[in-house]
Amino acid sequence: MTVETAAGATPPDPELVQLLTPEGQRVPNERYDALIADITGDDVRSMYRDLVLGRRVDGEAVALQRQGELGLWASLLGQEAAQVGSARAMRDQDHVFPTYREHAVALCRGVDPVSLLALFRGVDQGSWDTVGTNFHLYTIVIGAQTLHATGYAMGIQRDGAIGTGDLERDAAVIAYFGDGATSQGDVNEAFIWASVTNAPVVFFCQNNQWAISEPLERQTRVPLYRRAAGFGFPGVRVDGNDVLACLAVTREALQRARDGEGPTLVEAFTYRMGAHTTTDDPTRYRLNAELEHWKLKDPIERVKAYMVRSDLADQEFFDSVERDAEELAVHLRAACRALPDPTPVSIFDHVYVEPTPDLVAQRDEMTTYLDSFALGGQASLGRDKFAEEVAR
């Protein structure tokens, strides 16, 4: 990749890996430049498109929630570069264990964003293909997914799918979580298990500096990435608003895992520009001046400035991406409103792969109860379908 390098430019924080300044200037880095040397102009344009589409999905979902179409939404606004950069570092065989905010990661892994809306609309419990995408279900319990990810990574290890040198076989796992989750016992237990078993997992912490209303200084006295040393594996802090830096750092961490070298903690230092969720009012606990300061570090504008500075795109390209984003928005609005409501007893359908006698009895009891409220048509329909499955 041909880049324009800012003469004498250095990251403002010596602990922070940064390859693009907020103004879009390329910062040389002896260690990480080689990890993105293969990135072409087409790759940068594709990442920019993912950043824009990810933000548009998020913006439309917030609007749909405000209009009463979704019960809740957790915004990713401001964290697009951390998600797209890390997602682009993965190979097809790698596995993702997300929180409830990794909408841009889902998009990069091929998950239909309508499936995300369905979850927050309350019409299903997560309907995307976790096998085809290797993007596992959203986890609402804070930090629990780090244990799931570590366990899955230990399984990959026992399957012999690391350290073989086979680019299409060796796999790794990445677990996403926020700065607040680092105070949870599950996360620290996952760190211990991953360390002592040398599990092929990358712990990707999006440090957006606010655990709902609790600021970072109430969570830790040292940078979060330094905690890794206490557990016996490396940690690195990256500019979470720099998509190239996030790509490079995550590539290195995932390859370490695939090579059998164990876990890494990546702290993507970013900022939550929106509310924690649509039930939150951030103006009650943080100053607007802080938000305005971080707007100057916007991850999308940073890449756009770099592309213009490096002659990687013209206005026609940017206009085409905006048209794609608008088309996606129109599709999302229509598809969300068209999502069918589930039958009340459909909650029993996916408890187990095969229905058990106890589950059948519980479903029949629920159906009888619903029938007593003149909901029999809908309830009985679900019961009959369930009975057919049991008979087979």
| pLDDT one-digit tens code per residue, 226-235 | 999 999 999 9
- Of 103, 121, 258, 276, the active-site residue reads 276
Residues across the chain: 392
Q: pLDDT at position 2, please?
A: 41
Please state, in angstroms and as integers, the Cα–Cα distance from residue 365 to each residue in 368, 380, 389, following that order: 5, 11, 17
pLDDT tens across 350-386, in order? 889 899 999 999 999 999 998 888 644 555 555 555 5
Predicted confidence band at 263 (pLDDT cuts at 50, 70, 90)?
very high
Predicted confidence band at 264 (pLDDT cuts at 50, 70, 90)?
very high
- How would you class 37 by CB atoms within 10 Å of its CB: exposed for 0-12, middle for 13-18, buried for 19 or more? exposed
Asked whether residue 198 carries a pLDDT value surpassing 80, the answer given is yes
Predicted confidence band at 15 (pLDDT cuts at 50, 70, 90)?
confident
Which phi-psi region, left, alpha or beta, contains residue 117 (left: φ > 0; alpha: ψ -120 to 50)?
A: alpha
Predicted confidence band at 254 (pLDDT cuts at 50, 70, 90)?
very high
pLDDT tens across 82-124, in order? 999 999 999 999 999 999 999 999 999 999 999 999 999 999 9
Q: pLDDT at position 53, please?
A: 98
Strands 173-178 and 16-17: unpaired
Helices and strands, number each (H, E), in the chain: 14, 8
Place of tokens 């459909």: 346
Predicted confidence band at 12 (pLDDT cuts at 50, 70, 90)?
low
Task: Report the amino acid identity of residue 59.
Answer: G
Asked whether residue 134 carries a pLDDT value surpassing 50, the answer given is yes
- Proportion of the chain above pLDDT 70, given as a percent: 92
Q: pLDDT at position 375, please?
A: 47
Asked whether residue 14 carries a pLDDT value surpassing 80, the answer given is no
Could you give the CA distance from residue 25 to residue 17 in angstroms, rounded to a whole number? 14
Could you confirm whether 272 is annotated as catalytic?
A: yes
Q: Give the CA count within 13 Å in the CB-facing half-sphere of 273.
A: 21
- Of 121, 237, 272, 363, the active-site residue reads 272
Q: Which two tokens mark 87? A: 């997602």
Q: Give the CA count within 13 Å in the CB-facing half-sphere of 88.
A: 26
Asked whether residue 4 carries a pLDDT value surpassing 60, the answer given is no
Q: pLDDT at position 385, please?
A: 57
- Of 31, 158, 218, 285, the active-site residue reads 285
Could you give the CA distance from residue 201 to residue 75 in angstroms, rounded to a whole number? 25
Contact 69, 199 (CB under 8 A): no
Q: pLDDT at position 162, please?
A: 98
So where are the chain's domains? 20-338, 346-390
For residue 44, what are the contacts with CB-CB under 8 A and spacing of at least 6?
A: 1, 303, 306, 307, 312
- 3-state secondary structure at position 173: strand
* Annotation: CATH topology of 20-338: Rossmann fold (3.40.50)
For the segment 22-38, the average pLDDT, to the nearest whole number, is: 97
Q: pLDDT at position 382, please?
A: 54
Q: Helix 113-121 crosses helix 41-66 at what angle (to 10 degrees)?
A: 20
- 3-state secondary structure at position 104: helix
Strands 264-269 and 235-239: parallel
For residue 86, what are the contacts with CB-CB under 8 A and spacing of at least 6?
A: 105, 174, 204, 246, 247, 250, 266, 268
Contact 259, 251 (CB under 8 A): no
Could you give the CA distance from residue 19 to residue 198 in angstroms, rounded to a whole number? 29
Q: pLDDT at position 157, please?
A: 98
Could you confirm whether 331 is annotated as catalytic?
A: no
Task: Report the amino acid identity of residue 158.
Answer: R
**Torsion on CA atoms 121, 111, 248, 196, rounded to nearest 10:** 80
- Proportion of the chain above pLDDT 90, given as a percent: 87
Asked whether residue 207 carries a pLDDT value surpassing 60, the answer given is yes
Contact 254, 94 (CB under 8 A): yes
Asked whether residue 11 carries a pLDDT value surpassing 80, the answer given is no
pLDDT tens across 40-91, in order? 999 999 999 999 999 999 999 999 999 999 999 999 999 999 999 999 999 9
The count of other CB atoms within 10 Å of the CB of residue 107 is: 24
Could you confirm whether 227 is annotated as catalytic?
A: no
